Amino acid sequence: MRIDAHMHINFRNISTQNIIDYLNKHRYDCCWLMTWEDAAPEKWNIQNLPIENVYNTFLRHPTRIIPMYAPDPQCDDAPGKLLQWCSRGVRGGAELKTTVNWRSVKLKRLLDAVLKVKIPVVFHMENRPEVLENLKTDTRLEVVLLKILQSGRLKGIPKRVLEMAVEVYAPLERWKKQRTLFPGYKLDFASLRVVLKEYPMVKFIGHGPLFWQHISADGGKNACIQQQGIIRKEGLTCSFLRNYPNLYADISAPSGFHALNRDHAFSRRFLSEFSNKLLFGTDNYPLGHEDLLKSLGLGPKIMRRLMGTNAEQLLMQ
């Protein structure tokens, strides 16, 4: 089977018909179709891609669409919503694109539900710089305090020390949170490690700029998405894939494409070593992910795994 394991409906102007035309044109048997759900999208000014649209597309083309859904873990009924949609045919917890950290109790409640229905989870990692802004009601003192936190230094006290002070002093943490514009999708590697160990039976599929920038030990220093240059030392992404049997990855989106396009000799080794853990996908970006894989001369056996067998096997459990 040939599968695009990361797609969305109504994202980057792709309609139901566009998806079917795309699958036909490239001879893909089917695609994984995923939601984005944030309980308060207006807060961060982000787009939601609701399960209803994914599910309707699936009902119209049940042999071409594999429906997936990741409820916002911040909703109280997130585990119940997931179980309910799985009983209607949803096959994956995707795309988990949340500002909630892996260590959060709410996220763990959702993972407990995932365990029950035995589905893979696709997660998005993205670190954006924390942007803070004063509220209109802030006093002069609060304006000064925010300036100190933003600038990172107070009479020689480094930023990390200030941040630690904020972390341990709960009211100040709450105060800061109220003034944070967008915290990023902060599913960092340290807490990812904890959850991979804690949920060995859940198959996690990583993706996104923060995940892929760590293919190299330089952490994508030159740019997190459009990273370039020879990889001199492998990064966390590689050691995590090697050390955790329940971690997989999809190569979709510009982040996956550029991570593999920067150093073809490295990519050939990387894709060969993890040929049973990586999934082809595009995330609606026509960058030529498949052409890139073809150009690396990986051989038919590895190509078949990347282009569909791995995705197929992840759904058979």
Cβ-count burial of 5 within 10 angstroms (0-12 exposed, 13-18 middle, 19+ buried)?
A: buried
Distance CA 64, CA 43 (A): 34
Give me the least distance between CB of 140 and Zn ion, in Å please: 43
Pick between residue 3 and residue 145 the one whose CB is nearest to Zn ion.
3
Alpha helices in 88-218 (DSSP H): 105-117, 140-151, 159-168, 170-178, 189-198, 209-213
Give me the least distance between CB of 207 and Zn ion, in Å please: 7
Sequence-ordered list of residues with C-beta below 8 angstroms from that of 154, at least 6 positions apart, any chain: 148, 162
Pick between residue 95 and residue 263 the one whose CB is nearest to Zn ion.
95
Pick between residue 263 and residue 290 the one whose CB is nearest to Zn ion.
290
> Is there a contact between 247 and 276 (Cβ–Cβ < 8 Å)?
no
Pick between residue 34 and residue 298 the one whose CB is nearest to Zn ion.
34
Angle at 88 between CA 83 and CA 92, to 5 degrees: 60
Give me the least distance between CB of 239 and Zn ion, in Å please: 24
Pick between residue 4 and residue 283 the one whose CB is nearest to Zn ion.
283
Give me the least distance between CB of 231 and Zn ion, in Å please: 24
CA 99 to chain centre: 11
Give me the least distance between CB of 117 and Zn ion, in Å please: 21
Pick between residue 4 and residue 95 the one whose CB is nearest to Zn ion.
95
Cβ-count burial of 138 within 10 angstroms (0-12 exposed, 13-18 middle, 19+ buried)?
A: middle
Give me the least distance between CB of 71 and Zn ion, in Å please: 16
Output the residue with the shortest Cβ distance to Zn ion.
283
Q: Which of 12, 52, 27 is nearest to 253 (CA)?
A: 12
Interface residues toward Zn ion, by CB under 5 A: 95, 283
Give me the least distance between CB of 95 and Zn ion, in Å please: 5
Q: Which long-range contacts (CB under 8 A, 24 or more apart) does 288-293 make?
A: 288/257, 289/251, 289/252, 289/256, 289/257, 290/26, 292/257, 292/260, 292/261, 293/251, 293/260
> Is there a contact between 298 and 24 (Cβ–Cβ < 8 Å)?
no
Give me the least distance between CB of 169 and Zn ion, in Å please: 36
Distance CA 94, CA 29 (A): 20
